[in-house]
């Protein structure tokens, strides 16, 4: 009886138990998310063991169904907010059976402004300014347009070109900015400033370039009589230590002579360099720095030849102080291009002078003050040593013609003695203007300088007598 009861209980237990289905595990959908600022593109892999033709997908965003019965394995969620996190889910179905799913999060991007860009040229005339700049890039790869402001006022907007000319200006100073603007309204700015010029048809240009790994800039002035069909001379004016070519060209006396005598004036800018713990703009005329300023001047000759067809037989270099050192230094490296040089208050460094040589006569117009306490006239090498070298090189008579120039300005506490050395050809000519009592300044131009002569007038008169027809050929360079 006992065994019968046990058997009944066992049978009852087995009969009372219902068989339950164990659900099959869902496959995980592998999703790739490409976030944008206002969208997120979802792409996912096929479901293992199923043909794409029988699978449909649903997409949920923050628990809301936003797409159903999708046959494609990609979906672009639009109209999202910037820099916001979202919860999303994708479910896969065959008929009405869910076979796979994946839950995930993503964060939209912050719409970034266009990338920085550079102004490459500011071309100023009496009533207009021409601007050129490099292209700005939008990080989200949207189109960019540009807006131009002058003195806070919008002058033109929505342009796609990388150049713009603004006409109708009145004489005066202007500050401006170019704004690169993306489709979301984000902007990137590049600022500029200029002052209109007074002479009709002349053009003053500030140009920015990348050269041999350095950002360089230079200014040049096209006289009112400029005509591209007529080749004009090119005069370099090299500023002194810590000089600013763009500021100095605005007040340069050379511009008035350029308009009258028809030549192109070019003033390049030196780079910042450190010497003895001090950092200032200076030319590499002493083998101190890694950049090559002679190479830059050589390139600028070709730049002006390419752009304005300058007369390559009439290229001249003048310079003050450190620019005077550079004029001497460049004469050696560019003697196959330069017709004459005119340093003021500059010498040749001892380490350079030790191996200094020229293979042809180069006309020299040189000025130096005897009371110059910055670049002393009797340093080593002295002005006399340099003149002696030049006399030998140019094969000049060592006995000069000495002329005491009129003491026109008796208030300047200085006088001018001119030493002229003649040779067998006009290319041998040397003129040395010794400013007796003169300091470290440009005669006739700077306050406190000797006023018996005007250095710019004297130098151009000297330059105008010389040319170098045996110059090397010009090279056509990329002007971008």
Q: How does pLDDT run across 107-120, given as a tens digit for each residue?
A: 999 999 999 999 99
pLDDT of 16 reads 52
Same domain for 248 and 381, yes or no, is yes
The pLDDT confidence band at residue 140, using thresholds 50, 70 and 90, is: confident
Which residues is 415 bridged to in the sheet? Answer: 436
- Distance between CA 259 and CA 225 in Å, rounded? 7
Q: What is the CATH number of the domain that holds 378?
A: 3.40.50.1820
Residue 171 DSSP class: S
Which residue do the tokens 């603004």 mark? 166
Same domain for 319 and 435, yes or no, is yes
The pLDDT confidence band at residue 22, using thresholds 50, 70 and 90, is: low
pLDDT of 480 reads 81
Q: Residue 11: is its pLDDT beyond 60?
A: no
Residue 12 in any domain: the answer is no
Residue 50 in any domain: the answer is yes
Same domain for 134 and 272, yes or no, is no
Same domain for 352 and 450, yes or no, is yes
Q: Residue 4: is its pLDDT beyond 50?
A: no
- Distance between CA 366 and CA 353 in Å, rounded? 17
pLDDT of 257 reads 97
Which residues is 173 bridged to in the sheet? Answer: 195
Residue 293 in any domain: the answer is yes
pLDDT of 7 reads 46
Do the bridges between strand 55-61 and strand 27-28 make them parallel or antiparallel, or are there none, so unpaired? unpaired
Label each residue of 408-448 as H, E or C. Answer: CCHHHCCEEEEEEECCCCHHHCEEEEEEECCCCCCCCCCCC
Q: Is 141 left (phi over 0), alpha (psi -120 to 50) or beta?
A: left
**DSSP states of 212-243 as a string?**
TTEEEEEEEEE-TT--TTS---EEEEE--TT-
* Domain final position from 194, 218, 241: 194
Same domain for 173 and 266, yes or no, is no
Q: What is the CATH number of the domain that holds 187?
A: 2.60.40.10
Q: How does pLDDT run across 306-357, given as a tens digit for each residue?
A: 999 999 999 999 999 999 999 999 999 999 999 999 999 999 999 999 999 9
* Domain final position from 194, 218, 250: 194
Same domain for 59 and 100, yes or no, is yes
Same domain for 147 and 74, yes or no, is no
* Domain final position from 164, 194, 224: 194
Residue 299 in any domain: the answer is yes
- Distance between CA 366 and CA 433 in Å, rounded? 6
Q: How does pLDDT run across 155-164, given as a tens digit for each residue?
A: 999 999 999 9
Q: How does pLDDT run across 216-233, given as a tens digit for each residue?
A: 999 999 999 898 889 999
For residues 90-98, average pLDDT: 95
For residues 42-47, average pLDDT: 96
pLDDT of 179 reads 98
- Distance between CA 389 and CA 384 in Å, rounded? 9
The answer to whether the CB of 463 falls within 8 A of the CB of 340 is yes
Same domain for 285 and 398, yes or no, is yes
**DSSP states of 123-161 as a string?**
EE-SS-EEEEEPPP--TT----EEEEEETTEEEEEEE-S
The answer to whether the CB of 272 falls within 8 A of the CB of 215 is no
Enter the tokens of residue 427: 């290319």
Residue 410 in any domain: the answer is yes
Tell me the C-alpha to C-alpha distance, in Å, between residue 338 and each of 265, 330, 458: 15, 9, 18
Residue 199 in any domain: the answer is no
- Distance between CA 277 and CA 299 in Å, rounded? 31
- Distance between CA 12 and CA 270 in Å, rounded? 104
Average pLDDT, the chain: 94
Same domain for 354 and 284, yes or no, is yes
pLDDT of 21 reads 55
Tell me the C-alpha to C-alpha distance, in Å, between residue 295 and each of 85, 209, 238, 283: 55, 14, 15, 12
Same domain for 85 and 124, yes or no, is no
- Distance between CA 138 and CA 108 in Å, rounded? 17
- Distance between CA 78 and CA 85 in Å, rounded? 14
Same domain for 331 and 268, yes or no, is yes
Q: How does pLDDT run across 290-300, given as a tens digit for each residue?
A: 999 999 999 99
Which residues is 89 bridged to in the sheet? Answer: 60, 103
98 is in which domain, residue-wise?
27-107
Q: Which segments of 183-328 are extended strands (E)?
A: 187-195, 203-211, 214-222, 234-238, 264-268, 271-275, 278-282, 315-320
Same domain for 356 and 248, yes or no, is yes
Residue 9 in any domain: the answer is no
The answer to whether the CB of 450 falls within 8 A of the CB of 418 is no
pLDDT of 8 reads 44
The answer to whether the CB of 92 falls within 8 A of the CB of 98 is yes
- Distance between CA 91 and CA 172 in Å, rounded? 68
Residue 14 in any domain: the answer is no
The pLDDT confidence band at residue 24, using thresholds 50, 70 and 90, is: confident
Q: How many domains does the chain have?
A: 3
């Amino acid at each position: 009886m006992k065994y019968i009861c046990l058997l009944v209980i066992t049978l009852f237990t087995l009969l009372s138990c219902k068989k339950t289905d164990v659900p099959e595990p869902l496959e995980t959908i592998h999703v790739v998310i490409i976030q944008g600022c206002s969208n997120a593109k979802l792409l996912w892999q096929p479901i293992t063991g199923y043909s794409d033709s029988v699978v449909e997908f649903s997409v949920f965003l923050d628990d809301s169904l936003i797409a159903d019965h999708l046959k494609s394995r990609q979906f672009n969620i639009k109209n999202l907010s910037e820099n916001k996190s979202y919860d999303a889910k994708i479910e896969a179905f065959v008929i009405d059976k869910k076979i796979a799913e994946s839950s995930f999060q993503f964060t939209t991007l912050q719409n970034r402004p266009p990338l920085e860009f550079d102004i490459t040229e500011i071309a100023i005339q009496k009533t207009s300014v021409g601007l050129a700049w490099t292209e700005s890039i939008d990080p989200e790869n949207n189109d960019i347009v540009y807006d131009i402001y002058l003195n806070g006022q919008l002058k033109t907007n929505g342009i796609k070109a990388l150049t713009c000319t603004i006409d109708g200006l009145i004489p005066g100073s202007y500050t401006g900015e170019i704004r690169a603007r993306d489709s979301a309204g984000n902007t990137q700015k590049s600022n500029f400033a200029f002052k209109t010029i007074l002479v009709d048809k002349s053009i003053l240009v500030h140009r920015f370039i990348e050269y041999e790994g350095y950002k360089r800039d230079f200014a040049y002035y096209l006289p009112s009589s400029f005509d591209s069909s007529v080749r004009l001379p090119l005069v370099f004016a090299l500023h002194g230590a810590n000089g600013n070519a763009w500021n100095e060209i605005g007040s340069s006396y050379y511009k008035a002579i350029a308009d009258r005598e028809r030549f192109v004036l070019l003033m390049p800018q030196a780079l910042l360099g450190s010497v003895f713990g001090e950092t200032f703009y200076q030319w590499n005329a002493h083998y101190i720095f890694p950049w090559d300023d002679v190479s830059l001047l050589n390139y600028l000759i070709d730049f002006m030849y390419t752009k304005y067809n300058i007369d390559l037989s009439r290229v001249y270099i003048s310079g003050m102080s450190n620019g005077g050192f550079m004029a001497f230094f460049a004469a050696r490296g560019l003697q196959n291009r330069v017709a004459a040089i005119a340093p003021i208050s500059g010498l040749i460094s001892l380490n350079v002078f030790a191996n200094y040589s020229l293979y042809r006569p180069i006309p020299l117009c040189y000025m130096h003050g005897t009371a110059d306490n910055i670049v002393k006239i009797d340093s080593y090498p002295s002005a006399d040593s340099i003149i002696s070298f030049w006399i030998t090189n140019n094969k000049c008579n060592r006995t000069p013609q000495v002329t005491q120039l009129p003491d026109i300005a008796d208030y300047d506490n200085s006088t001018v003695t001119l030493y002229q050395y003649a040779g067998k050809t006009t290319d041998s000519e040397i003129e040395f203007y010794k400013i007796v009592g003169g300091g470290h300044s440009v005669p006739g131009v700077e306050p406190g300088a000797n006023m018996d002569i005007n250095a710019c007038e004297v130098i151009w008169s000297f330059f105008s007598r010389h040319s170098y027809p045996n110059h090397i050929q010009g090279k056509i360079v990329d002007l971008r």
